[in-house]
Amino acid sequence: MSAIKLIVGLGNPGKEYEQTRHNVGFWFVDELAWAWRATFKEEKKFFGEVARVSRPEGDVWLLKPNTFMNRSGQAVAALAQFYKIKPSEIMVVHDELDIACGRIKFKLGGGNGGHNGLKDIQARLSTPDYYRLRLGIDHPGDRNLVVGYVLNKPSAEDRQKIDDSIAKSLRGLPKIMAGEFEEAMRELHSK
């Protein structure tokens, strides 16, 4: 079992996307950077904002791609290849339509569920075998409404549920970082 060496938060760059559901991954890594006292810096060669954190288990990289969602893999692959980080040492944090707002799922591998960020990461890494921390945002009910839904702000009630799920995920992160994946899943998947 590999330790997590790269935590990627998915989102879209720019003020107009900052508060949208699709940026839940950015919200998570921003909170994590604050908790770990890390500072993001623009890194052109990694196509994003990067923070390096010295942890007891070794260096951990935080990444917010600046490539827009559908090109997220460009940033992930560039950093992973440069630092020789294996896919099994990567955790991608993203919004998940197929999970109720405020719920969390943690898993290794699997499909991309139509998520453009995951599709590109999978293509660039040539494998689906990386960890995903999936933060539920609900589904609008009709697939034709998905793009507008993910690119809009959640209601105040939904934002609170998402913020609570981020806080719960941060509490479960030490287990993930210690490689205690089963325990982390039990904790994160509970109501």
List, in sequence order, every beta strand (DSSP E) within the chain: 6-9, 41-43, 48-55, 58-65, 90-96, 104-108, 131-136
**Residue 65: pLDDT band by 50, 70, 90 thresholds?**
very high
**Residue 56: pLDDT band by 50, 70, 90 thresholds?**
confident
Mean pLDDT value of segment 8-20: 96
Mean pLDDT value of segment 16-37: 97
Q: Is residue 107 part of a domain?
A: yes
Query: Any binding-site annotation on 40?
Result: no
The boundaries of the domain holding residue 133 are 6-189
Query: In this predicted model, which residue has the larger pLDDT, 92 or 55?
Result: 92
Answer whether 104's CB lies under 8 Å from 73's CB. no
Q: Which pLDDT score, from 0 to 100, does residue 30 have?
A: 97
Q: To the nearest 5 percent, what fractions of the chain are helix, strand and coil?
A: 45, 20, 35
| Dist CA 145 CA 150 (whole Å) | 9
Q: Is residue 1 part of a domain?
A: no
Q: Is residue 12 part of a domain?
A: yes
**Angle between helical axes of 156-177 and 24-35 (0-180°, round to 10):** 50
Q: Which pLDDT score, from 0 to 100, does residue 163 have?
A: 97
pLDDT digits (tens, 9 = 90+) for 29-48: 999 999 999 999 999 999 99
Q: Which pLDDT score, from 0 to 100, does residue 57 have?
A: 80
Number of domains, the chain: 1
Query: Any binding-site annotation on 23?
Result: no
Copy the structure tokens of residue 76.
């992930």
Element (H, E) at 124: helix 116-125
| Residue labelled with tokens 């508060």 | 19
- Tell me the percentage of the chain whose pLDDT exceeds 90: 91
pLDDT digits (tens, 9 = 90+) for 123-133: 999 999 999 99
Q: Which pLDDT score, from 0 to 100, does residue 1 have?
A: 52
Mean pLDDT value of segment 26-30: 98
Q: Is residue 172 part of a domain?
A: yes
The order of strands in the sheet holding 6-9 is: 41-43, 48-55, 58-65, 6-9, 90-96, 131-136, 104-108
Query: Any binding-site annotation on 17?
Result: yes
Query: Any binding-site annotation on 46?
Result: no
22 a catalytic residue: yes
Q: In CATH, what number is assigned to the domain containing residue 132?
A: 3.40.50.1470
**Residue 95: pLDDT band by 50, 70, 90 thresholds?**
very high
**Residue 191: pLDDT band by 50, 70, 90 thresholds?**
confident
What average pLDDT is seen over the chain?
95
